[in-house]
Amino acid sequence: MRIDVDRSRCEGLGMCEAMAHEFFEVGDDGFVVVRDDSPAEGQRSFVRAAIDSCPVSALSLRD
């Protein structure tokens, strides 16, 4: 399972960082940086919550 970011959509709103800062951080340029793109089994539900929280649907999970 991997996290995909659509950089053309990301507006740096930071909700993903709020929900799961181990995985996401907004950088100085105002775009999200994925710090760890392969969440372990036990962390998927909160990565999922982070992905759902993005107001512009810039994040997705791939199997």
Please, what is the minimum distance in Å from the beta carbon of residue 42 to ligand SF4? Answer: 22
- Which of the choices ligand SF4, another protein, none does residue 58 contact, using the CB cut-off of 5 to 8 A by kind? ligand SF4
Q: Scanning residues 17 to 56, which ones bind ligand SF4 (CB under 6 A)?
A: 24, 26, 32, 54, 56
Please, what is the minimum distance in Å from the beta carbon of residue 37 to another protein? Answer: 19
Beta strands in 1-63, from DSSP E residues, in sequence order = 2-5, 24-26, 32-34, 59-62
Task: Give the type of residue at 47.
Answer: V
Say which residues have a Cβ less than 8 Å from residue 34's Cβ, sequence separation at least 6.
3, 5, 23, 24
The nearer residue to another protein, 43 or 53, going by C-beta atoms, is 53
